[in-house]
Structure 1
Amino acid sequence: MGSSTLGKAASLDTLLNECIHAFDDSGELQAYLLPRSLLLMHRWYVTSSELAGKLLMIYRDCKGDNCQRTRLKICYLMRYWIVTFPAEFNLDLGLIRITEEFRDVAAQLGSEEHFKLIDISTIPSYDWMRKLTQRKKQAKKGKASLLFDHLEPMELAEHLTFLEFKSIRRISFTDYQSYVIHGCLVDNPTLERSIALFNGVSQWVQLMVLSKLTPQTRAEVITKYIHVAQKLLHLQNFNTLMAVVGGLSHSSISRLKETHSYLAPEVVKIWSEMTELVSSNNNYSCYRKAFNECHGFKIPILGVHLKDLIAVHVVFPDWVGDSNKVNLVKMHQLYMTFNELVSLQSAVAQVEPNMDLIYLLTLSLDLYYTEDEIYELSLLREPRNHKSLSVFRNYDHDHDGYISQEDFESIAANFPLLDSFCVLDKDQDGLISKDEMIAYFLRANPLLQCKMGPGFIHNFQEMTYLKPTFCEHCAGFLWGIIKQGYKCKDCGVNCHKQCRELLVLACRKLIRSGSLGSVSPARLTHSSLPSSPALPTCKGNFHLVNISNL
């Protein structure tokens, strides 16, 4: 980033001096990253008006034979700042005042050339970054509009990308900085609206699927949105891609086994590829590789890059020791992420939207449904299977619809609360059918609940996880910036909000204390099941933040 003479730390005055002399006498900037890096990152340390004030002071107090030359280079740096980050010179009143003062001093001490270099009169208006439309509070919940059925996947992808672009480019450097430092969205409406849009898209996709009454028509909607995800990848819009894939992979949709049975194998393959692309495996390595290989207009996954900023901020101090020297290692690491995020402010939308459709989409995405309400709708479409079916899939190794005694005995230790094979094999034909398993659970359910007793009651509290964590019930990733899931205070088990009541796993604290006697924990969870080849294996709630929880 900087000259090797700077080392790992330098004062702001030293960094400014390096930036000034990075320009030659004709105003050309050498192959040197420091000026752009400092002009973007200085707000982490001082305000823009303070930095401009330092440059003005150097310009005014300059002495010696090379004074005029140095002053010219300072003006080149100011001009570079104006051209590279014009929004600052339209939105920051303090910076505008200092710049005008700078021009007056240049007119007195410099030349006409200096005066012209510091001209901000032609900067376009960036009022769109200031103005934030108010979300209309609806007395009734919005409905997922079914008027999108006729739209082609590319048309939907383009309009979703336009909405995403409009939202994410409003987020300023100081908005990101505020979130990274304070860890919350208080007084940060632009970032909050962007996250709300992400959540809105994810919920909208779920509701579009669940609006259909039959498994076949729900499968058709899933197929359509998998193709929308493909088109979003083509448009290099990774943030909305993750929202769509997250909606399709949400537990309210992933549990619809009958619906999934109507999906074509090639569609399932594409879905798996899209899911793998945005999965958290190896710190989102697949996404990072794809994003870095993209050129031109591209929209990053906001949550991933916010996590990167937070990680750097937590690990590295701003200043080195007790000195006033900037930690250049941290500044460079932050710059690499910030540069990707703020570059969207100067990007140009790649689509020409139909504004009527944009308006309709905007209304449809403000849904005001809770997680619980969507999950209840999912249960209405396909009622929950008995726990017996989860157990049945564990024993039925060859998926022929029957459990042999050999299969039963091979993993019986995992389910110590179940009776013996002969009890379940009611017709004594040497095989347990699915109907026999269901019948057994219907008969034995009260007894099993009695056996499980208080040992299966966890002391859950909502948690913010600082490292990748997975749900013990569905094996899905606990996605989010904050408040991603629930953790048992007694035994440490983690799960999604909607999986708390479904978790059949004894509290290990109670087991250790002897509350369950010699009974080992009974795991009837999806994580212990062999993953189905017909479905993507990365499941879970991909929501960044549920704004209502903040």
Structure 2
Amino acid sequence: MGEQVKDERKDSGYSHVGHPENIIYNYNGTGDIEAVRAGSLTALVDHLTHPDKLDASFNRTFLTVYTYFTTSRELVQLLTQRYHCPPPGILDSIEAAEWSSQTKPLIRVRVMNVLKQWLGSFWAESKGLETYEALKQLQLFASGVTASESSTVQQQLLEIIQCRLAGVERMKRSQPSISNSPKPILPRKLKMEKLQFLKIDATEIARQLTLIESCMYGKLQRNELLHKNWQRKEQPAPNVRSLIQYFNQLSSWVGALILAESDLKKRTQVIGHLINVANICHELQNYSAVVSMLSGLESAPVYRLGRTWAMVTQRSCDILQPLQALISSDQNYQAYRDALRRAMPPCIPFLGLFLKDLVFIEDGNPGLTPEGLINFSKYSMLSSTIHGAHRFQEAPYSLRPVPELQEYLATQLQSAGDLHELWERSCQLEPKGRGDGNRERDMYTATGGMMTSMVVACMILDD
């Protein structure tokens, strides 16, 4: 794939309309532009509003990650300048007329649509004086646009700006159709104090866990995934942190349920039931719960229970093995990545792998090229990862919530404690050196450190 700095004007459908200066493109084998690789900020804004061709992928990437290389006020200024841009170079009367009648109106339409898209779907600014001033500047600009030029877009833009100034979020997540949802499988005794884990159907546990996490995942904001905000105390990412906390609670709950049982047979039943729940979560494409539950099953306090695992049924192990294979770390979690690529919403992906990828991209690629241009390839990778996480937010699960079960599960998860605290209990249940050191664990094969790196990616910094 070739690359080239374009520093000359080239006709592409309209007179005196060419590729912006100070921009580097990647080209495919036939010499056509495949993607923007790098450019100056002004050149990128020119490409964003190019009159001859709408590059939707570029625009989405730019608006997702613009905070890495500019501010809202600077971007507003550049876009308004672009709207009022003069003709390029020295034109004769015919060329000037063509510019005024054909090219400039298209640039203005592009600018207005980019502003509407930015304010409506990609606004990533926190409240503050600078944000307020940028919005007021935009409001003043939009109010001054001649109505005959783009009256509909102008009105829509002004409405969005007013909502942003008022702090009102216009975008709403679609609601599921309860009428088509399966009937809940309820235990005989639905009172919370009477509920027992083994007596609740595994399918319904998986459904309710999925509904709980789906609601949390739907609140995730794009800007929480920018600049590693989930690691920053001064700019927290509350929804990322909530999902991390939930993931860790679910993992700890799995370990606590198993280790709460003194009876060996009961422990194996709990493990079998948990495996069934994890399998239903997999069928629901709740990959986050699958990873979390397997993390609990493979935690050190549970994994060391050799006698317990030796009693787990072959059926349970046969169910568990493909789940382990799905989230294996082999080839950078290729099996899981392939499954996620094929998945159609509704789906809950494992957020930890997205966070791991974002950190790798941010830390492993420079922000500027050797030419001093914005390294847009880096930001394209960041944007692609963020949109990979975002694309599963819009389609909710068509499942019926059961408040009593959700309250039971929420209470259980919050009281599960820390997996590290369970080691002593594990050693009490199966002390070391009690004649089982040579027991073959042919019924269960753990994937070793597979989970460790995935869970570390999800860890939250201490406050």
TM-score per shorter chain, which class? Answer: 0.7 to 0.9
Q: Residue 432 of structure 2 aligns with which residue?
A: 384
Q: CA RMSD in A?
A: 3.6
The whole-number CA distance in structure 2 between the counterparts of 1:128 and 1:364 is 31
Out of 145, 155, 162, the position equivalent to 1:106 is 145
Q: Secondary structure at the match of 1:292?
A: helix
* Whole-Å separation in 2 of the counterparts to 1:146 and 1:190: 29
Rounded to whole Å, the distance in 2 between the matches of 1:250 and 1:40 is 37
Aligned to 1:445: none
Cα pair 1:251 1:539 within 8 Å, conserved:
no
Match of 1:483 in 2: none
* Cα shift at 1:243: 0.3
| 8 Å CA contact 2:253, 2:416 repeated in 1 | no
CA–CA distance in structure 1, aligned partners of residues 266 and 118 of structure 2: 55
Unaligned runs of 5+ in 1: 130-143, 394-398, 400-531
- Matched residue of 2:67: which SS? helix
CA contact (8 A) 1:185 1:192 kept: no
Report 1:9-24 matches (<5 A). Answer: 9-21=38-50
Larger radius of gyration: 1
- 1:75 is aligned to 112
| Cα distance, 1:228–1:22 mapped onto 2, change above 3 Å | farther
In the alignment, structure 1 residue 163 sits paired with structure 2 residue 207? no
Q: Report the CA distance shift for 1:151/1:86 in structure 2 as closer, same or farther (over 3 A).
A: farther
* Kept after mapping to 1: 8 A contact 2:268/2:309: yes
What is the rounded CA distance, in whole Å, between the counterparts of 1:106 and 1:269 in structure 2?
66
Name the stretch that deviates more: 113-122 or 156-165: 113-122
* Partners of 2:299 and 2:419 within 8 A in 1: no
* Partner residue in 2 for 1:40: 64
Question: What is the distance in 2 between the residues matched to 1:125 and 1:190?
Answer: 16
The 5-angstrom pairing of residues 252-401 of structure 1 reads 252-321=301-370, 323=372, 325-367=373-415, 369-386=417-434, 389-390=436-437, 392=438
Q: CA deviation at 1:46?
A: 2.2
Counterpart in the other structure of 1:491? none
Paired residue for 2:80?
56
Would you say the 8 A contact 1:320–1:326 is kept in 2?
yes
Asked if the contact 1:200/1:366 (under 8 Å) is kept, the reply is yes
Q: How many pairs were matched up? A: 391
Tell me the SS of whatever aligns to 2:200: coil
The verdict on how the C-alpha distance between 1:218 and 1:186 changes in structure 2, with shifts beyond 3 A counting, is farther
In 2 relative to 1, CA 549–89 (structure 1 residues): closer, same or farther, beyond 3 Å?
closer
User: Which residue matches 2:18?
Assistant: none
Q: CA deviation at 1:236?
A: 1.4
**Contact in 1 for aligned 2:253/2:417 (Cα 8 Å):** no
Question: Quick one: structure 1 residues 300 and 90, their matched pair in 2 at CA, closer, same or farther if it must change by over 3 Å?
Answer: farther
TM-score after normalising by structure 1:
0.63
> Equivalent residue of 1:9, what SS?
strand
| Superposed displacement of residue 147, structure 1 | 3.7
Q: CA deviation at 1:61?
A: 4.3
- Correspondence 1:519-538 to 2 at 5 A: 532-538=441-447
SS at match of 2:39: strand
Could you tell me the percent identity over the aligned residues?
22
Secondary structure, in 3 states, of the residue corresponding to 1:261?
Answer: helix
| Distance change >3 Å, CA 109–CA 128, structure 1 → 2 | closer
Give distance in 2, aligned partners of 1:241 and 1:94: 46
1:17 alignment partner AA: D
CA distance in 1, matches of 2:304, 2:328: 19
Report the secondary structure of 1:374's partner residue.
helix
CA distance in 2, matches of 1:159, 1:348: 13
Could you list the per-position Cα deviations for residues 401-421 of structure 1 after superposition, in whole angstroms to 9, with x for gaps in the alignment? Answer: xxxxxxxxxxxxxxxxxxxxx
Counterpart of 2:443 in structure 1: which amino acid? A
Q: In structure 2, the residue corresponding to 1:8 is in which secondary structure?
A: strand
Matches of 2:195 and 2:71, distance apart in 1: 48
